[in-house]
């Protein structure tokens, strides 16, 4: 394969909702460009993109597939991304390392939630967008309706490049507005017959051509002046205007294809080769220091690893982008993240599972290496003259959590090793060993996401696992002041144990002063502050400890032991064993023994005194509340709102966003555990949501009673 220069390389992320036909389009593009000799199909499990066994099992793309093709003397690197929102990590990765987004639409369904989600990511990353309407041969395809949906969602920047003469089973021709030609295909697709626009379509085509010329001219002052003078632009001038419009996101071109019949593919690839921006024309990436890194082939070499996969019969394959310089086979590089040296033995260009060895890759290109010594996803490797580090990919928060454990407890270490490896393959699979919940948690984007992980563990690694409901990280606190005291005394021959602690507990509020006098019935306690400690708790909130002991009743050297006892009890709260928070403790009296008192005695006395006081101080359980945004079609809004209200949600607002409704709510985490599945069921997979932690709030009193009873019952069973 020839070596492509930076200004001959175009990087394209292929996006679209599940079922839009991305894998089929990729297959047709690879076949047209000669990378493969025969097109595979999703049904036959023989496509270039979906080559993992789990993808063939489910019939969906679950991982992004790196491919490349040569067309019109240009190299097109195409990253075929999963359509399911559960595997959004692949799309996020692709948009960060590629330069132009192609969003495929199913001609039957038009703009879907997946379309909106992907477009939203392109907005955040300021990437050019091309829309491609697929499945024009579907009997329920209505191209005009799809175009109207695009205009409603994305405004006047939507500019058709083509339109079909008809849709449905008879689809076989489009009018190309840019070239003012008609393209017609035979039953097997492939190379079209190109003719002049028929007289019957000339008026419509001319009107649309004029709109396209105006849109192209708007992105360049010189072109705009020429358009005003002559009212036309040459084909090359239009291409230049569209290219600039793509870079500025002022134009979103729309193409027509029928991927499974190989209709429209060549013309679309011609547009990619002639019009889509080159790597060198796109905004520059910045390293972690904020320095701009240009894709300059003559600069020092830096490569960024954006993807890792464990592939059948090969093992670990690491995919990278050459950020600057030129990478040669056999180069010695330094891993900026891990400090290790790495020799790049063989380097490859990739088309799915097919690899072709190359001698070098220039800045902007995409490549792969096999079985590297010490490289992880997200690492940067530099030549001796470079000092770059990149960290520009930000993944969305998880939406679905399950507790995970091996069926055979002896396999726990093996499970951890495999899960860490799988996180390298998909960073949106997140492993957490929760000390608080005493569970190993696996976080993901949805039920399907974790179901695929389970399938791989059980079929690829032969490790049987089980999922359980994750516990909720409740918090305990108090709502009023109370006192507690405890005498710990133990004598068993020789020196014994003795400690007595008297304390006040009360809710802690930032900036609130300590009263000089406390009243408990007829009992008054005078406070004389000897010392104050403020402890930021690892789980949130604070413990404020005040030493108010006078007359030497408790020696100062025992205060750290008392604090330790308090911290131990707050780590396992008296009500449900959950973390306690936001408590002020004042130790005001006690007793000690000159021989039998020690740190352990005061630690135990403090624990018991705190438990007694806490239970008398109006104890309450807090639950985590999350801010939730749901993007839902308007016809499903009522169902989704009713479901949320049944989950104790507080509806905060509603708004319309580019064809879809956005519902904002605050929802307890307990009610969100299976929400991804429920929302998909309610809307036929047409809705999506995001969630992030908001605050801790009091649980309803009836739920608090149930939680306390459940904890007491579990304690009795353990005893």
Give tens-digit pLDDT for 381-402. Answer: 999 999 999 999 999 889 899 9
Give the pLDDT band (50/70/90) at residue 105: very high
What pLDDT score was predicted for residue 715?
62
Q: Which two tokens stand for residue 177?
A: 């507005």
What pLDDT score was predicted for residue 658?
64
Give the pLDDT band (50/70/90) at residue 659: low
What share of the chain in percent tops pLDDT 70?
Answer: 98
Under 8 Å between Cβ of 324 and 296:
yes
C-alpha to C-alpha distance for 283 and 288, rounded to whole angstroms: 16
pLDDT average, residue stretch 186-207: 94
Could you identify the residue written with the tokens 């190993």? 440
Of 130-134, 503-507, 684-688, least confident by mean pLDDT is: 684-688
Residues 6+ positions from 328 with CB-CB distance below 8 Å:
344, 359, 360
What pLDDT score was predicted for residue 719?
47
Q: Confirm whether 9-281 and 400-471 share one CATH topology.
A: no
Q: Report the candidate in 90, 9, 66 with the shortest Cα–Cα distance to residue 282.
A: 9
Residues 6+ positions from 529 with CB-CB distance below 8 Å:
514, 546, 547, 548
What pLDDT score was predicted for residue 226?
77
Residue 625 CA neighbour count, 13 Å, CB half: 17
What pLDDT score was predicted for residue 71?
93
Give the pLDDT band (50/70/90) at residue 56: confident
Residues 491-523 have pLDDT tens digits of 876 678 999 999 999 999 998 999 999 999 889
pLDDT at residue 247 is higher than 70:
yes
C-alpha to C-alpha distance for 566 and 543, rounded to whole angstroms: 9
Q: Which CATH class is domain 9-281?
A: alpha beta
Assign domain 400-471 to its CATH superfamily: Elongation Factor G (Translational Gtpase), domain 3 (3.30.70.870)
Coil, helix or strand at residue 257:
coil
Which is it for strands 380-382 and 332-335: parallel, antiparallel or unpaired?
antiparallel
Sign of the dihedral defined by the CA atoms of residues 636, 639, 641, 644, in that order: negative
For residue 30, the surrounding DSSP H or E stretch is helix 22-32
String of b and e for 516-529 (b: at least 16 CB within 10 Å)?
Answer: eebeeeeeebebee
**CATH 3.30.70.240 holds for 621-702:** yes
Q: Which two tokens stand for residue 487?
A: 């005498």
Longest dimension (CA), the chain: 112
pLDDT at residue 718 is higher than 60:
no
Alpha helices in 79-198 (DSSP H): 88-97, 113-125, 143-154
Under 8 Å between Cβ of 490 and 593:
no
Residue 659 CA neighbour count, 13 Å, CB half: 23
List C-alpha distances in Å: 533 to 551, 566, 585: 20, 12, 10
String of b and e for 316-343 (b: at least 16 CB within 10 Å)?
Answer: bbbbbbbbbbbbebebebbbbbeeeebe
Residues 150-171 have pLDDT tens digits of 999 899 999 999 999 999 999 9
Under 8 Å between Cβ of 373 and 358:
no
DSSP percent split of the chain into helix, strand, coil, nearest 5: 30, 30, 35
Residues 286-337 have pLDDT tens digits of 999 999 999 999 999 999 999 999 887 788 999 999 999 999 999 999 999 9
Decide which of 1.10.10.10, 3.30.230.10, 3.10.129.10, 1.20.120.1460 is the CATH code for 479-618: 3.30.230.10
Under 8 Å between Cβ of 693 and 624:
yes
String of b and e for 205-244 (b: at least 16 CB within 10 Å)?
Answer: beebbeebbebbbbbbeebbebbeeeeebeeebbbbbbbb
Alpha helices in 142-186 (DSSP H): 143-154
Under 8 Å between Cβ of 66 and 72:
no
Average pLDDT of the chain, as a whole number: 92
Q: Which two tokens stand for residue 25?
A: 């389009």
pLDDT average, residue stretch 444-469: 94
Residues 404-456 have pLDDT tens digits of 999 999 999 999 999 999 999 999 999 999 988 999 999 999 899 999 999 99
What pLDDT score was predicted for residue 716?
54
pTM of the predicted model, to two decimals? 0.84
Phi, psi of 273 (to 5 degrees): -70, -35
Under 8 Å between Cβ of 40 and 65:
no
List C-alpha distances in Å: 655 to 191, 629, 651: 46, 11, 12
Assign domain 285-382 to its CATH superfamily: Translation factors (2.40.30.10)
Label residue 303 exposed, middle or buried (CB < 10 Å: 0-12, 13-18, 19+): buried
pLDDT at residue 92 is higher than 80:
yes
pLDDT at residue 186 is higher than 90:
yes
Phi, psi of 430 (to 5 degrees): -120, 125
What pLDDT score was predicted for residue 129?
97
Under 8 Å between Cβ of 544 and 582:
no
- Domain ranges for the chain, please list them: 9-281, 285-382, 400-471, 479-618, 621-702
Residue 373 neighbours by CB distance under 10 Å: 10
What pLDDT score was predicted for residue 493?
67
What pLDDT score was predicted for residue 45?
77
């Amino acid at each position: 394969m020839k070596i492509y220069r930076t200004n001959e390389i175009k990087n394209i992320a292929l996006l679209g909702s599940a079922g839009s036909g991305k894998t089929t389009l990729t297959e047709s593009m690879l076949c047209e460009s000669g990378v493969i000799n025969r097109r595979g199909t999703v049904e036959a499990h023989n496509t270039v993109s979906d080559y993992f066994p789990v993808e063939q099992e489910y019939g969906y793309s679950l991982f992004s597939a790196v491919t490349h093709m040569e067309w019109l003397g240009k190299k097109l690197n195409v990253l075929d991304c999963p359509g399911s929102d559960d595997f959004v990590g692949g799309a996020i990765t692709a948009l960060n390392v590629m330069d132009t987004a192609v969003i495929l639409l199913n001609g039957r369904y038009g703009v879907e939630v997946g379309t909106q989600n992907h477009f939203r990511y392109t907005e955040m990353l300021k990437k050019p967008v091309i829309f491609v309407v697929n499945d024009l041969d579907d009997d329920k395809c209505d191209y005009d309706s799809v175009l109207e949906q695009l205009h409603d969602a994305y405004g006047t920047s939507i500019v058709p490049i083509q339109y079909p003469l008809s849709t449905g089973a008879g689809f076989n021709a489009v009018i190309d507005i840019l070239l003012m030609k008609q393209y017609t295909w035979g039953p097997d697709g492939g190379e079209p017959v190109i003719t002049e626009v028929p007289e019957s379509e000339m008026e419509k085509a001319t009107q649309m051509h004029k709109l396209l010329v105006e849109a192209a001219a708007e992105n360049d002052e010189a072109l705009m002046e020429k358009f005003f003078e002559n009212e036309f632009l040459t084909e090359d001038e239009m291409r230049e205007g569209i290219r600039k419009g793509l870079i500025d996101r002022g134009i979103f071109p729309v193409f027509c294809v029928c991927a499974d019949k190989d209709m429209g593919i060549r013309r679309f690839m011609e547009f990619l080769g002639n019009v889509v921006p080159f790597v060198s024309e796109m905004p520059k990436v910045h390293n972690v220091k904020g320095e701009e890194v240009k894709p300059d082939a003559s600069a020092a070499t830096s490569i960024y690893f954006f993807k890792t996969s464990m592939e059948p019969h090969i093992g670990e394959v690491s995919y990278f982008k050459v950020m600057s310089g030129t990478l040669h086979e056999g180069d010695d590089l330094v891993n900026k993240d891990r400090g290790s040296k790495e020799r790049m033995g063989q380097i490859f260009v990739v088309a799915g599972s097919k690899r072709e060895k190359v001698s070098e890759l220039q800045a902007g290109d995409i490549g792969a290496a096999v079985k590297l010594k010490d490289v992880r996803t997200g690492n940067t490797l530099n030549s001796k003259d470079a000092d770059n580090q990149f960290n520009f990919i930000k993944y969305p928060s998880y939406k679905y959590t399950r507790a995970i454990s091996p069926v055979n407890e002896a396999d726990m270490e093996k499970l951890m090793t495999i899960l860490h490896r799988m996180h390298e393959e998909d960073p949106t699979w997140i492993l957490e060993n929760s000390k608080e919940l005493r569970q190993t948690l696996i976080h993901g984007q949805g039920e399907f996401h974790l179901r695929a992980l389970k399938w791989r563990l059980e079929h690829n690694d032969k490790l049987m696992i089980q999922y359980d409901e994750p516990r909720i990280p409740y918090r305990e606190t108090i709502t009023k002041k109370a006192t507690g005291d405890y005498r710990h005394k133990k004598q068993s021959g020789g020196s014994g144990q003795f400690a007595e602690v008297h304390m006040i507990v009360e809710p802690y509020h930032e900036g609130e002063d300590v009263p000089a006098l406390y009243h408990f019935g007829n009992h008054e306690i005078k406070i004389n502050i000897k010392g104050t400690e403020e402890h930021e708790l690892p789980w949130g909130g604070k413990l404020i400890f005040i030493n108010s002991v006078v007359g030497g009743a408790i020696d100062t050297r025992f205060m750290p032991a008392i604090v330790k006892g308090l911290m131990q009890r707050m780590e396992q709260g008296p009500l449900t064993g959950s973390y306690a928070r936001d408590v002020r403790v004042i130790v005001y009296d006690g007793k000690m023994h000159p021989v039998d008192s020690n740190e352990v005695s005061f630690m135990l006395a403090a624990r018991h005194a705190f438990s007694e006081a806490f239970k008398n101080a109006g104890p309450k359980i807090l639950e985590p509340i999350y801010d939730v945004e749901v993007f839902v079609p308007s016809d499903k809004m009522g169902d989704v709102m009713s479901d949320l209200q049944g989950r104790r949600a507080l509806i905060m607002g509603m708004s319309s966003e580019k064809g879809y409704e956005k519902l904002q709510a605050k929802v307890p985490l307990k009610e969100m555990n299976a929400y991804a599945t429920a929302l998909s069921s309610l809307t036929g997979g047409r809705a999506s949501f995001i969630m992030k932690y908001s605050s801790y709030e009091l649980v309803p009193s009836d739920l608090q009673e149930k939680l306390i009873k459940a904890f007491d019952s579990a304690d009795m069973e353990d005893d």
